[in-house]
Chains A and B, each alone.
Chain A
Amino acid sequence: MSFHPNDVARRARMSSLALTIGFVVLIGAFFKTQVIQYKQYVMQSEENRLRPIPLPAPRGIIYDRHGEVIAENLPAYSVSITSPNVDSLRSALAQLQPTLQLTQNDMNLAIRRFRRAPTRPTVILPDASIDIVSVLEEHRLDFPRLIIQSVPKRYYPDGPMVASFVGYTGEISESELNDPKYASYKPGQQIGKGGLEKQYESILHGKEGVRFDEVDARGRPVRGEGPRPDLNPEGAPPLYTNIDLDLQKFTVGIFADSLQGGAVAIDPSSGEVLALYSAPSWDPNKFTGGIPVDYYKQLLEDKRRPLVNKAIQGRYPPGSTFKLATSVIALQDGLVGLKEHMPVPCTGGYQYGTRWFRCWEKKGHGSLDLEQAIKHSCDTYFYQLGLKVGLSRMIAGGINLTMRDKSGIDLPEENQPYWPYAVKYYNDKYGRNWSNAETLNLAIGQGANSQTVVNMAKFYSAVSMRGMSPRPEIAHLIPQRKQIFRLSSTQDSVLLEGLKAVLQGGGTAAASAIQGLTLAGKTGTAQNPGGQDHGWFVGFAPADRPRIVVAVLLEFGGHGSRAAHIASAIIGHYLKVGPIQATMDEG
């Protein structure tokens, strides 16, 4: 053995050096971790111990034009749970099942929500009853990961009365989560599903807040007080609409339960939508927090199709209400003189080629000028006017009068009306097997023409405003108006006189006149091959300085005079003029 003191001293020196180097390296490694990378690890340790609990923001309140509440938020309770993995969630759900009375569907939904966002508390019951909540509170210790939160719940004080435009809210769906538009949304969040709620989702949804719970490694909360200040949810600003809730309720009232159809009331100068209703309606409050299966089934099976919005989705041949469009097209192109009579006087119909085209008045109207033809809605006159215009000009004219465009109302569900894109439409549809008789049909609002109620309201707004067509708007944004036709003032006044005459003695809606108020409007009958005809009325008042345009469609309403009654009542209510008590007679 070599234990000479010099050798040992040398080894001791080497060993001391090796030891020192070893410890310096270790200390260096700790310096790197604790001083240089400190921030990164602090963040990780905070992430470990702090579980963010989302605090839903209350949706923006929706008001009518006078500050009446259309949609608000009520406190509700949501039950959610945090879980480290799917198996743990499954067993927790199985444990909770008897207390919460969860259906298999509830559980599957919860599991799907968890898979989407495993780090967020998984919502089990979005809207738990107070009974369930109190039972859960008693067993709080058994379910330490359970989170019972007071959350805002959407409530519509007038329920079915406003459903047609306000829509409803619900939990964001799988397909919506996949939509880049909703990239920032998380599973379990509430979202506007239809109507204004959907249209103005970005404004109404507010900003979710966060509360931080301190949890241990097994995800159990350990302390009551927040280890980090909450980020309070930011409620959305209110949405002010142009709706006149009083007029809306009145409209709903006249439709009552017996009538079905749609009605739209517009301020023609600005396009502000004062009322919009589709009868029968449905209760949006029942849709909030999950649509009950039986209620949905009941709505689906209802023959009156409450889920189809008859004001913006239903498309109906505009019938005689379209005669104003035919008139505008003809006048604009100078194809008819104001006092000009058609070559063939009305004898209850018109012979075109081999076909006899009937006028609604079997007795015939005789020879009429434009104003009289509007007043009496004489088909024979308009058949000939249509022929004067010609198919191609007719179609182009209709397109210019926005008969092929959506009205642009701020509702996501609006349907585009049907109107031929060109003469080619008939070639594409029928080959060569069609006749010019299509022109006659188009001229009286039949044929390849189906319009929504809101689009007809928009057109009549333009008629009442000398060609200035406003975009219908429920929420007040920037009014958009567009000149869709231009007529001379004499031409305009002839149309107006004709429309006024409709509601005067001998007119087709004379029975709907209101004392002390000059109404202008046009009835219409939409031929319905499947049943009784639909009745139209579109009108405005006061005729000379219009403040309201109302379009009403009554499904299976027969002739338009019944629709005229409703419209005139709405107008009268809005302008605070009582209707003349008149007998209903077909005019």
Chain B
Amino acid sequence: MNRPIVADYRLLAAAGILSLFGVAMVYSAGQTDTPTAVASVYKSQILWLVIGLGFAYAIGHSSVRFIEWMTTPLYLFSIFLLALTLVIGKGAGTAASTKSWLAIGSHRIGQPSEIAKVTVVLMLAKVLASQRETPKSLLDLWKPALVVIVPWVIIMLQPDLGTGIVFIGIFFAMLYWAGVAWPLLILIASPAISLILSFSVGLWGAWFFILLALVLWYRPYLIEGIVLMVLNVATGVVAPLMWEKLAPYQQKRLMTFIDPTADPRASGYHVIQSKVAIGSGGFFGKGFTQGTQKRLAFLPEQHTDFIFSVVGEELGFLGVTIVLALFLWLFLRITQVAERANDSFSSLVAFGLMSGWFVHVLVNVGMTLNLMPITGIPLPFFSYGGSFMLASWLAVGILMRISGEGRGSALSLRR
């Protein structure tokens, strides 16, 4: 089990710098004029980082085969934990009304959904890798779909829209990486697109004709085609009813996304203050720990969901560009790792983990500028939170191992 590898220093450096940067920002987030409990959370963040590094080190010294062997039990265990949240779950922070936290009594232990993000990627990779043929029809996809749908349903029941979005993002990215043709991906996504477009009859109608053309061109099985069209009609019609079903805070969040100034003192307030914080940072920022929006508590959730706004306010456009460049560097490196991976399982795992992070960054950073709805998903390596930090470094460990075993690595050359 203890097989040394030559570390992928580029990957390690990108993740390490981002984490240290993140801890520094969590520290800064606690520096407010009226001190709050946030002032000391950077200490636990450091602790979680150290534990995460330990996990990463351990996994880095295991093997991809061992990880693959562990995949099914880990996946099932994480499903069990997720299901448990529905029974004894607790809410916290921005999502106080949800049940995403696993808790014993009043003591919150962690968010199983963060771990599930990793295990779902592993399981999905395993299932996809085990299929000899590239899925060509919707029916071929029932297995991988099931892997995602089970935890997704539980998470939507919690309910945690943001994590749900991440799962969907991972699913599509991995199907793409597995070679599923893009028209098929669009067909899979079509009911969801219908759902979104259903609010405008004209747009939905246009979409429906495009879809029809796509179906005729791609020619799936007849039944599939019919089911697909029926599903699209159904979601298009059902969507408004679904809207009624959404929790009021979810409706509010979606409405806020559409027009944050509609209710500036309530849910739109977060986004407006975040934009003001970022915009007032200017090119060089107000200086580390010096952000007035943050110091004076105008910026909400400054250590979790809106930590990137602190980066924007205090370090300016320069700091934002550096952080985003680091993320891009990391993601491009992981793509390279996925490309050079030894086998399809490793390759899919690497790409899946990267795509999960990418969705996080895109949605979280986009949210601070009101380009994305407030879904409450954290920024990897930055947002304060033990489970996510742990899960992220778990992923880094897996990636290090895959990279180490991959083609062109020192280890593979030595072999």
Which of A33-41, A316-324, A443-451, A513-521 contacts its partner?
A33-41
Inside 8 A of B295's CB, which chain A residues have their CB? 216
Interchain CB contact (< 8 A) of A48 among B293, B338, B369:
B293
For A41, give its contact among B33, B275, B351, B365 (CB under 8 Å).
B275
Q: Mark contacts of A211-236 with chain B using CB atoms, 8 A cut-off: 1 yes-contact digit, 0 otherwise.
A: 00011111010110000000000000
A480 in the interface (beta carbon within 8 A): no
Closest partner residue, chain A, to B291 (CB atom): A45
Chain A 1-44, CB-CB to B under 8 Å as 1, else 0, gives 11100011101100110011011001101110111011011101
Q: CB-CB contacts of B30-44 with A at 8 A, as 1s and 0s?
A: 000110000000000
Q: Is the CB of A45 within 8 A of B324?
A: no
Cβ of A270 to closest chain B Cβ, rounded Å = 60
**Beta-carbon nearest neighbor of A29 in chain B:** B369
**Inter-subunit contact B324/A216 (CB<8 Å):** no
| Contact partners of B371 in chain A: CB under 8 A | 26, 29
Cβ of B51 within 8 Å of any chain A Cβ, yes or no, is no
Nearest-neighbor residue (CB-CB) of B296 within chain A = A216
Q: Are B279 and A31 in contact (CB under 8 A)?
A: no
Task: Choose from B133, B296, B332, B336 the contact partner of A222 (Cβ within 8 Å).
Answer: B296
A65 lies within 8 A of chain B by Cβ: no
Q: Is the CB of A220 within 8 A of B279?
A: no
Nearest CB in chain B: distance from A579 CB, A: 74
Please tell me if B147 contacts chain A, counting CB pairs below 8 Å.
no
Query: A1 contacts which chain B residues (CB < 8 A)?
Result: 128-129, 131-134, 178-179, 344
Chain A residues, Cβ within 8 Å of B296: 48-49, 214-217, 222
Contact (Cβ within 8 A) A7 B179: yes
Please give, as numbers and ranges, the residues of chain B lying within 8 Å of A3 by CB-CB distance.
179, 344, 347
Instruction: Please name the residue on chain A nearest to B339 by beta carbon.
Output: A12
On chain A, the residues within 8 Å of B325 by CB distance are 23
Min CB gap B382→A, angstroms = 14
Contact A38 B282 (CB under 8 A): yes
Q: How far is the CB of B346 from chain A (nearest CB, A)?
A: 11
A38 near B298 (CB under 8 angstroms)?
no
In whole Å, how far is A572's beta carbon from the nearest beta carbon of chain B?
71
B186 to A: closest C-beta gap in Å? 15
Q: Are B327 and A34 in contact (CB under 8 A)?
A: no
Q: Mark B367-380, 1 if CB is under 8 A from A, else 0.
A: 00101000000000
The answer to whether B132 and A15 touch across the interface, beta carbons within 8 angstroms, is no
> Looking at chain A's contact residues, is the secondary structure mostly helix, strand, loop, or mixed?
helix
Q: Are B335 and A15 in contact (CB under 8 A)?
A: yes
Among A19, A20, A31, A38: residue with most chain B CB under 10 A:
A19
Residues A30 and B282 in contact in the complex (CB < 8 Å), given A1-B131, A216-B297: no
Return B22 CB to nearest CB of chain A, in Å: 17
A26-B365 contact in complex given A19-B335, A34-B317, C-beta closer than 8 Å: yes
Report if A216-B33 is in contact (Cβ < 8 Å); known contacts: A12-B336, A27-B324, A41-B278.
Answer: yes
Residue among B278, B279, B331 facing the most chain A CB atoms (10 A cut-off)? B279
Residues of the B chain whose Cβ atoms lie less than 8 Å from the Cβ of A49: 292-293, 296, 298
CB pair A11–B177 under 8 Å, yes or no, is: yes
Instruction: Name which residue of chain B comes closest to A222, CB basis.
Output: B33
B276 and A41 form a contact (CB under 8 A): yes
> What is the distance, in angstroms, from A32's C-beta to the closest C-beta of chain B?
9
**Least Cβ–Cβ distance between B177 and chain A, in angstroms:** 6
Q: Is B366 an interface residue (CB 8 A)?
A: yes
B321 at the interface (CB under 8 A from A): yes
Q: Is B316 an interface residue (CB 8 A)?
A: yes
A interface bracket (residues with beta carbon within 8 Å of B): 35 or more
**Nearest-Cβ distance from residue B341 to partner chain A, whole angstroms:** 9
Q: Is the CB of A34 within 8 A of B297?
A: no
Is B176 positioned at the interface, with any CB of A under 8 Å from its CB? yes
Asked if B358 and A30 make an inter-chain contact with CB atoms under 8 angstroms apart, the answer reads: no
**CA A15 to CA B134, docked complex, whole Å:** 19
Q: Is the CB of A31 within 8 A of B179?
A: no
- Return the chain B residue nearest A30 by Cβ: B320
Q: Report the minimum CB–CB distance from B281 to chain A (whole Å).
A: 6
- B286: nearest residue on chain A (CB-CB)? A45
Q: A45-B280, A217-B297, A222-B296 are in contact. Are A27 and B34 (CB under 8 A)?
A: no
- Contacts A45-B293, A49-B296, A216-B33 given: A26-B131 contact, CB under 8 Å? no
Q: In the complex, A38→B312 CA distance in Å? A: 12
How far is the CB of A8 from the nearest CB of chain B, in Å?
5
Q: How far is the CB of A224 from chain B (nearest CB, A)?
A: 12
* Chain B residues closer than 8 Å to A33, beta-carbon distance: 275, 278-279, 312, 369
Q: Which of B126-141 contact A (CB under 8 A)?
A: 128-129, 131-134
Q: Give the residue name and chain of the A residue nearest to B297 (CB).
A: A217
Do B312 and A30 have beta carbons less than 8 Å apart? yes
Q: B320: nearest residue on chain A (CB-CB)?
A: A30
The CA-CA distance from A81 to B312 in the complex, in Å, is 34
| Cβ-defined contact, A35 with B317, below 8 A | yes
Q: With the chains together, A19 CA to B176 CA distance in Å?
A: 14
Q: At the interface, yes or no: B362 with Cβ under 8 Å from chain A? A: yes
Chain A residues closer than 8 Å to B402, beta-carbon distance: none
- Report chain B residues within 8 Å CB of A11: 176-177, 179, 339
Contact A27 to B320, CB < 8 A, known contacts A1-B133, A34-B312, A217-B298: yes
Minimum-distance CB pairs A-B, first 5: A41-B279, A2-B179, A45-B280, A12-B339, A217-B297
Give 20 A-B pairs besides A8-B347, A16-B335, A48-B293 with Cβ atoms closer than 8 angstroms.
A1-B133, A1-B179, A3-B179, A3-B347, A9-B339, A11-B177, A19-B331, A20-B332, A23-B327, A34-B279, A34-B320, A41-B276, A45-B280, A45-B298, A48-B296, A48-B298, A49-B296, A216-B34, A216-B298, A217-B296
| 9 A-B contacts (beta carbon < 8 Å) | A1-B129, A7-B179, A12-B338, A20-B328, A34-B278, A34-B320, A42-B282, A45-B298, A216-B34
